[in-house]
Chain A
Amino acid sequence: MSLSVLLSKYGSLYLQAMLTTWRLTAISFAGAMVIGLVITVIRVCPIVPLRYFGDIYVQIFRNIPGAAMLILLVYALPYLNMNFSYEACVLISTIMIPSAFCSEHLMSGMNTIPVGQIEAARALGFSFLQMIFRIVIPQALRSCVLPLTNLLVATMLTTSLASQVPMRPRELTAIVSYINTRDVGGVLAFAISAVLYCLTALVLGQLGGWIDRRVRILR
């Protein structure tokens, strides 16, 4: 199948698939950042049981394979009378798994903060939460822009999980298997999706590098 035939027949589907991948990625990453932040605050707070909860959360979700988690959500949870739509199951997986990695990055970002910053905040009478949200988190975020950019790309790649369930509209991975079951799409059908993924990753990487150069704290 030639490129022009493929594009004229499936071009709009590819466009829709790309937008779906972008949408899933944006929602997942935003969710992962919020949950990752909350879990990180929990992991450094003085309440010991909460710390353990945060640590266990991170260990579970950074070690569970995406496929195993999605299958649990889609096929096993209904046995507990909990039914979610396919899209919700995909999003829960693609939020919670990256959120664990997000928390790990933030923790190592925090470790780059000099002790003097904390001591100064304490001397000025900051409370724990004030210190976390005004001093620690902003600096941690600024020093882990590059790892978080890599996480964003990884999150995009994780959204290909959606091809494992009959979710509509299809995203960039599902579209390839769809075309190949109806037509002989060949290498080209695969290459279009691959190029779209790569271009997105490239743009995100450049953007991350640019932000990093602007906000990175030189120590």
Chain B
Amino acid sequence: MKKTGIRDILYEPPGPKARRRIRVVTALALILLAGLLWLIIRQFSLTGQLDARYWSFFGRATTWRFLGEGLLSTVEAALTGALIAFAAGFILMRGRLNRYAPVRFLSMAIIEFTRGVPTLLFIYFFFLVVPQMGLGLSAFWKITLPCAISACGVVAEALRSGVNAVPKGQREAALSLGYGEIRLFYQILFPQAIRFVIPSLISELVIVLKDTTFASVVSYADLMQNAKVLISNYDAMLSVYLVVAVIYILINFLLNQLSEYLAQRTKRSAAEGRQA
């Protein structure tokens, strides 16, 4: 587990009395947590949910291939959604930093709108309203586009904070070297900004991935939907949903760890850069 500064300074090395107290409370806590675990397992076994028939099919390759296919569709939707969100967010960020006030205002309104409306509402919009307008989209786009729309505002704000984090001297140096506004942005500001914001872009990918679990609304065959097929095949609701939830948690956990690692690295190299 990660070490946080506050944890290390909150107390000094305990004396003999405190050590004894800590040992007693630690033992109590262990008993409590073990008791909790025992209660959960007991509930599982009392209701027969530990029976082999609910779990044995996880030993079959077909089960995992099927779940893997669903996962692949989930990843496909999430990555596509994230890419669209990045493109749209980039445009919105450019608009937000535009020199003309109406453009700035419009971009800001769009950003606030996408940030203030739940993804599910966008999904229902694409599911119910878009077909009324005579636009036939496939299930893939009905889940991908709303996820992208609801993420693009956050992406725009993240990119903007990255651009603002680039030291002012960079801009001034480039301008005095005769760079135009466009070259300044694409060759000097943006390449530096993107390094700052990669961690928050990864966190946003996690949010998009979570949002794709609503794919069942538009019946797109993602991990969640494939789980439902497994459930009806083996009549095993609890075990399948638990395994699927664990898969989602693990993927998001790893992505978050990656984002944290990259954030630490950027911070370190920035600190070294200042010393040099």
Q: Which residues of A contact B (CB under 8 A)?
A: 43-44, 46-53, 55, 59-60, 62-69, 71-72, 75-77, 79-82, 107, 110-111, 113, 115, 118, 122, 128, 131-132, 136, 153, 156-158, 160-161, 163-164, 172-173, 176-177, 180-181, 184-187, 189-190, 193-194, 197-198, 200-202
Contacts and interface: CB of A to CB of B under 8 A. Distances in A.
Contacts of A177: 124, 128
Contacts of B253: 59, 63
Interface in B5-31: 5-7, 9-12, 14, 22, 25-26, 29-30
Contacts of A184: 132
A160 B7 contact: no
Chain B interface mostly: helix
Contacts of B175: none
Contacts of A180: 124, 128-129, 132
A82 B49 CA distance: 13
B245 A69 contact: yes
B244 interface: yes
Task: Please tell me the size bucket of the interface on B.
Answer: 35 or more
B4 A198 contact: no
Q: Which 10 A-B pairs have the closest CB atoms?
A: A201-B116, A160-B118, A63-B252, A198-B116, A65-B210, A67-B213, A157-B118, A65-B213, A180-B128, A160-B120
Nearest to A162: B120
B118 A173 contact: yes
Nearest to A58: B1
B245 A64 contact: yes
Interface string B114-135: 0111111100110011001100
Given A48-B26, A180-B124, A186-B129, A128 B10 contact: yes
Contacts of A48: 26
Contacts of B259: none
Contacts of B9: 115, 118
Contact of A72 (B116, B118, B121, B242): B242
14 contacts: A44-B10, A50-B33, A63-B250, A63-B256, A65-B252, A68-B224, A80-B44, A111-B4, A164-B120, A173-B118, A180-B124, A180-B129, A180-B132, A190-B124
Given A128-B10, A131-B10, A53 B121 contact: no
Interface of B: 1, 4-7, 9-12, 14, 22, 25-26, 29-30, 33, 43-44, 46-47, 49, 112-113, 115-121, 124-125, 128-129, 132-133, 206, 209-211, 213-214, 216-217, 224, 237-238, 241-242, 244-245, 248-250, 252-253, 256
Given A173-B118, A176-B124, A72 B245 contact: yes
Contacts of A201: 112, 115-116
Given A67-B213, A72-B241, A201-B115, A173 B6 contact: no
Most buried by A among B6, B26, B47, B253: B6
Given A50-B29, A107-B6, A173-B118, A76 B129 contact: no
